[in-house]
């Protein structure tokens, strides 16, 4: 091999190395861009940056839940459904409805999020409206003043013995 041929081969190798280096830099930049886009899509999809559609559980119950999932109150076949217009007086109902609202706000942002949420709703509604639910002692319809609204008495509970909750 002559000196000129040897020099030409080194120049060709250096040029090819520069080309490969430039291609690696281009591909690296493309990967970074794709990772950023995926991270932004993933972050937008988790709902953390999305404000809730309804600002309170009350707004969600009255504007969405009750109109969308109406249930006949009173005797329906062998079942009796209970509802209280003052549902917000019932801690259990507020807790269950708030959990449903939070779940709905999250589920609405996911492509198939409503499927598991509907299963949860189907589980919660019979508990809320059922004979043993939080509205069991409330009269349906009419004036739900003090004489027609009844909250359940608190369940008695004794404090646990000292160190009961320490499972070392």
Q: Quick check: helix, strand or coil at residue 75? A: strand
Q: Quick check: helix, strand or coil at residue 158? A: coil
Residue 75's pLDDT is 63
Q: Which of 77, 75, 94, 82 is nearest to 131 (CA)?
A: 82
Residue 148's pLDDT is 58
Residues of the chain with pLDDT under 50: 45, 144-147
Residue 145's pLDDT is 46
Dump pLDDT digits (tens) for 97-116: 999 999 999 999 998 999 99
pTM (predicted TM-score) = 0.60
Alpha-carbon distances, residue 121 vs 95, 100, 148 (angstroms): 13, 7, 28
């Amino acid at each position: 091999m002559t000196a000129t041929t040897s020099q030409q081969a080194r120049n060709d190798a250096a040029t090819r190395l520069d080309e490969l280096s430039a291609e690696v830099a281009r591909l690296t930049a493309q990967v970074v861009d794709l990772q950023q886009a995926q991270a932004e899509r993933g972050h937008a999809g988790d709902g953390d940056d999305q404000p809730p559609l309804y600002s309170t559980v009350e707004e969600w119950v009255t504007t969405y839940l009750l109109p969308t999932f109406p249930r006949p109150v009173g005797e329906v076949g062998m079942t009796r459904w209970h509802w209280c217009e003052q549902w917000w007086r019932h801690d259990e109902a507020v807790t269950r409805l708030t959990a449903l609202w939070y779940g709905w706000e999250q589920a609405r942002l996911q492509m198939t999020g409503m499927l598991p949420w509907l299963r949860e709703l189907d589980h919660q509604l019979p508990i809320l409206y059922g004979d043993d639910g939080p509205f069991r002692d409330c009269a349906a319809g009419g004036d739900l003043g003090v004489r027609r609204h009844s909250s359940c008495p608190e369940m008695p509970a004794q404090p646990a013995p000292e160190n009961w909750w320490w499972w070392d």
